[in-house]
Amino acid sequence: MEHPIYHALLFGPPGAGKSTQAEYLMQHWNLAAISTGKLLREQIAAGTPIGLRVREVLARGELVDDALMIEILRAWLAAISPDNGFLLDGFPRTIPQAQALDEILAELHRPLSAVIDLRLSVSEAVHRLGGRRICYGNGPDEIIHINDEAAIARCLERGGLLVQRPDDLPNVIVKRLAVYEAETEPLINYYRARGIAHRVDASGERAQVAARILSAVEGIDHPPPVW
């Protein structure tokens, strides 16, 4: 099915499901997508100068400085073909980042068309993040929840290793949620005033959340997709 070329961003607290939904939406809407958190973790894993510079910042649950994040985004956006839409997951997180994004998109003549504002309770976010483990080794990485005994058994059977993100430790989750509330959440007013923000309930099954996003942005009812 043909879709408009979306210039969209996913907004929401840690654990809201931004990256989970980004993976689905980029396929569905044929978008280039960037997760700034994932990109930073890749830099850390590879031990690059950027990785060394930001490792402790992520481990503390704080935000990386605006200048570096804006430089990363500018380079990424400039490389996207005009025929391709894009989806930002985790950017902007501060007012200076939002202002810089506007300037970059104005230069590129690619204004934002949708802001997807995922809403989730603190208790559900803590449940998702506190229980998140990544199964590494002998196959693709798999994200699982510690309550999912079948997934844990599958991971161990394939010889995988269960790893916790350093910023998913309880004290860091609390810090990340506080940073979100103080520095990022107020940004939604910046976009709401323009009439491009869509508030979406991010609780429930992944497919239900995806259906709510599609329905809100496209303005027509969607059933939950096969996940």
93 part of the active site: yes
3-state SS, residue 145: strand
Residue 200 found at the interface with ligand AP5 (CB under 6 A):
no
- Interacting residues of 45 by C-beta distance below 8 A, sequence separation 6+: 51
Q: In terms of CB distance, is 36 or 135 closer to ligand AP5?
A: 36
Candidate list 28, 110, 154, 206; residue touching ligand AP5; CB under 6 A: 206
Quick check: 57 and 64 in contact, CB under 8 A?
yes
**What whole-number distance in Å separates Cα of residue 151 and Cα of residue 12?**
27
Asked if residue 143 binds ligand AP5 (CB under 6 A), the reply is yes
Residues 107 and 101: their CA atoms lie apart, in Å, by 10
- Count CB-CB contacts under 10 A for residue 62: 16
Which DSSP symbol is given to 128?
Answer: H
Is 176 tagged catalytic? yes
Per the structure block, which two tokens stand in for 166? 């350093």
Cα–Cα nearest to 94, from 190, 200, 205: 190
Q: Is 210 in the site for ligand AP5 (CB under 6 A)?
A: no
Query: Which residue's Cβ has the minimum distance to ligand AP5?
Result: 37
State yes or no: is 132 an active-site residue: yes
| Residues 100, 74: Cα–Cα separation, whole Å | 9
Any bridge partners for residue 116, and if so which?
Answer: 10, 198
Residue 214, both tokens? 């599609």
Catalytic residue among 18, 41, 128, 133: 18
Sites for ligand AP5 among residues 56-85 (CB under 6 A)? 57-58, 61-64, 69
Residues in binding contact with ligand AP5, number by CB under 6 A: 32
Q: Which of 38, 55, 165, 199 is catalytic?
A: 165
* Pick 62 or 102: Cβ nearer ligand AP5: 62
x/- map, 16-45, ligand AP5, by CB under 6 A: xxxxx--------------xxx--x-----
Interaction site with ligand AP5 (CB under 6 A): 12, 14-20, 35-37, 40, 57-58, 61-64, 69, 90-91, 93, 97, 128-129, 132, 143, 167, 176, 205-206, 209
Enzyme catalytic residues: 18, 93, 132, 165, 176
